[in-house]
A = this chain, B = another copy of it.
């Protein structure tokens, strides 16, 4: 990054086209764009950096931007009516959030917190909408992404509604295994057990016990450092 860029914007806010393009080209909804389209949307983007622990947005705040993670890691969580926290998802480099406010002109309902030092790239609602009207095929891409997320969210709801904790854990481990490309039987949990408990709608204590149970039954083997070896996938899924 050139030093002039840093001086132009207050705080930690820059506008570096190359960085934006590198970032955005990772995002599924944008990575099929042509060069000129990419450039066109990128000139409207802004970079902002957050330190570990900083809150990027809160429930109730007005919002009008899409946030794409340039590098870093963000935790999205909600507070229920009775004040309990649930982890909704962890975002890594190339993923995005803020989509609701983008189209609904409403306020955030969740919280976004930087888990490590994180740099995001923001695109304003007005800019994106204009862009979508100009290139309609991109809307179809986003619609596809949205409907997939909706489907996943409903599946998750059904799991909470009908499966007991042990099953939810087993299903989670199985999905981790699916998404790890290598054939190795070992998976790495994408978050701390504390956060995983929150994601799965249970407590750290119960999660710890259920993992121990699954280990006793010979389905998995817990290693150091969030690593778990899946010994018997089929057995795991019959829990």
Contact = CB atoms under 8 A, between A and B. Distances in A.
Contacts of A158: 78, 80, 86, 88
A150 B153 contact: yes
A155 B160 CA distance: 12
A82 B159 CA distance: 9
Interface stretch (A14-22, A100-108, A187-195): A100-108
Tell me how many chains of this kind the complex includes.
Answer: 2
Interface in A109-162: 109-110, 129, 132-134, 136-137, 139-140, 142-144, 146-151, 153-162
A201 interface: yes
Contact of A81 (B132, B142, B167): B167
Interface residues of A, number: 48
A143 B171 CA distance: 30
A11 interface: no
A84 interface: yes
A105 to B, nearest CB: 9
**Main DSSP-derived SS at the A contact region:** helix
A103 B137 contact: no
Contacts of A153: 150, 153-154, 157
A140 B133 contact: yes
B147 A80 contact: no
Interface of A: 78, 80-82, 84-86, 88, 99-100, 102-104, 109-110, 129, 132-134, 136-137, 139-140, 142-144, 146-151, 153-163, 167, 171, 200-201, 237
A160 to B, nearest CB: 4
Given A103-B140, A104-B144, A146-B150, 5 more contacts: A80-B161, A86-B157, A100-B147, A103-B146, A133-B136
Nearest to A237: B81
A100 B160 contact: no
27 contacts: A78-B154, A80-B162, A81-B171, A81-B237, A84-B163, A86-B157, A86-B162, A88-B154, A88-B157, A100-B148, A100-B151, A103-B143, A103-B144, A103-B147, A104-B148, A129-B140, A132-B136, A132-B140, A139-B140, A139-B143, A143-B146, A146-B150, A149-B150, A150-B150, A153-B157, A157-B160, A161-B200
